[in-house]
Amino acid sequence: MLKNEVAIVTGGGGNLGAAIARKLADAGAFTFVCGRTDSTLKVTVAEIAARGGTADWITTDVTNYEAWEDLVDEVQRRAGMPVSILVNNAARFTWRAFRDWDASAFRDVIESNLLSAMYGCRAVVDAMHARGGGSIVNVSSIHGLVGDRNVAPHVATKFGLNGLTVALAQDLKEQKIRVNAVCPGAIEKEPAKIALLEKEWPGSRMLLADDVADIVAFLASPASRAMNGAIVPIYGKTHPGVKAL
């Protein structure tokens, strides 16, 4: 499904990022997992290799635009062809009462959750255009659709990421670059619970990382060619009863 595609997944050493990278590689993409910590990225690449996929890792700071330009150049040098898939998954999440936030902490969340995605989109546009098109998937959140207490910066940036998604879908459609987003609810991370959850219907439980990764892989693939500017909710049991915005 994704043979001869080159994918970048940010936050590729984390639970969700690793699941997304595995799914893309399983589908045939040459997948580059990117983030700040080489030890976790190496683990993801090793998991992909054990499944018969092709992957590599690159450490980078996605909050730095120049680092993004270097990243795209290096990915294309190693892959031997232009980037065609970008998954902006890197993010920062902190529960904290609004009065306890300071300007520096606000800035960190904005850079991690919103500016990093904007930088990534801009960095891959020329490469995707040269290739004849591509797919960008932004990993947003349930908090990109509904507010909640003690996560104001997170909510603000995820609403912003959804807005960026629908705007870029229009900006980039003439270059045949599709831009979509997923909005996951809470994801279970404890292995002991995951084995039990795998037997239940997804709508009755917390999400597994693979639940989200399946949708990301679909949006990255030609199978979703009719979708552009879509904001896709993936809630599991954390469905908040979202009303029309």
Question: Where residue 202 sits, what CATH number does that domain have?
Answer: 3.40.50.720
The position carrying tokens 């850079």 is 111
User: Within a domain: residue 72?
Assistant: yes
Mean pLDDT of 211-240: 92
User: Within a domain: residue 244?
Assistant: no
User: Within a domain: residue 245?
Assistant: no
Q: Residue 239 has what pLDDT?
A: 59
* Full residue range of the structural domain in which residue 70 is found: 6-238
Res 123 pLDDT > 60? yes
User: Within a domain: residue 1?
Assistant: no
The more confidently predicted of residues 190 and 156 is: 156
Average pLDDT score, the chain: 92
Model confidence band, residue 232 (pLDDT cutoffs 50, 70, 90):
very high
Question: Over the stretch 85-119, which tens digit does the pLDDT of each residue have?
Answer: 999 999 887 777 888 888 898 899 999 999 999 99
For residue 23, give the nearest of 182, 159, 176 by alpha carbon.
182
The more confidently predicted of residues 95 and 44 is: 44
Q: Residue 16 has what pLDDT?
A: 97
User: Within a domain: residue 205?
Assistant: yes
Residue 23's Cβ-count burial label (10 Å; 0-12, 13-18, 19+) is: buried
Token reading at 215? 């949708």
Question: Over the stretch 14-39, which tens digit does the pLDDT of each residue have?
Answer: 999 999 999 999 999 999 999 999 99
> Can you point out the beta strands (E) in the chain?
6-10, 30-35, 54-59, 85-88, 134-139, 177-184, 231-234
Given a contact cutoff of 8 angstroms between Cβ atoms, the answer to whether 179 and 228 are in contact is yes
Q: What is the pTM of this model?
A: 0.93
Res 7 pLDDT > 50? yes
For residue 85, give the nearest of 12, 159, 4 by alpha carbon.
4
User: Within a domain: residue 159?
Assistant: yes
Q: Residue 157 has what pLDDT?
A: 96
Question: Over the stretch 187-212, which tens digit does the pLDDT of each residue have?
Answer: 887 767 766 777 777 777 778 999 99
The total of structural domains in the chain comes to 1
Give DSSP secondary structure letters for 144-190. Answer: GTS--TT-HHHHHHHHHHHHHHHHHHHHSGGGTEEEEEEEE--B---
In angstroms, what CA-CA distances link 47 with 10, 33, 39, 42, 198? 17, 12, 13, 9, 20
CA distance 87 to 120: 9
CA distance 220 to 125: 15
Model confidence band, residue 245 (pLDDT cutoffs 50, 70, 90):
very low
First-to-last C-alpha distance (Å) of the chain:
34
Model confidence band, residue 130 (pLDDT cutoffs 50, 70, 90):
very high
